[in-house]
Amino acid sequence: MKLRMLLWLLGWMLKRARRRQGRFGELLRDNGRLDWGIATEDLRIARHYRMTAEAIDSAPGLPVDLDLELRFRDADSALAILKKPTQRAFLDGMIDGRVRLVGDSRDLQRLQKLLGQLR
């Protein structure tokens, strides 16, 4: 339940940042469209985000047409890493097998740049 709430809250924060933070909007315009999602490996908990400069949409589930997916071994691993989303935490999670990246690593870098603007 905590992970579902965290993922919903992330969508709310992204929408708020697009409306209120000029730098976040600039990055969205410069980077273009980014469709990404977060899920547990068993897909019991999943949420995706479709981000453009005009709008950010968030919905439950994980469609097949996403640019990037972050798959976590379980909800506890996801919470531990997402509470402190540093590059080191993601790298350690990938090495340990707690996180799996599906997609292009350049999209992950774009996403990290955008998420770094959230306050």
Print pLDDT tens along the chain (119 aa).
Answer: 799 999 999 999 999 999 998 899 899 999 889 999 999 999 999 999 999 999 999 999 999 999 999 999 999 999 998 888 778 888 899 999 999 999 988 998 888 888 888 86
Residue 14 three-state SS: helix
Task: Enumerate domains of the chain plus CATH numbers.
Answer: 2-115 (3.30.1050.10)
Total Cβ atoms within 10 A of residue 51: 26
Please compute, for residue 44, the number of CA atoms within 13 A of its CA located in the half-sphere on the CB side: 9
Alpha-carbon radius of gyration of the chain: 13
- pTM of the full predicted structure? 0.89
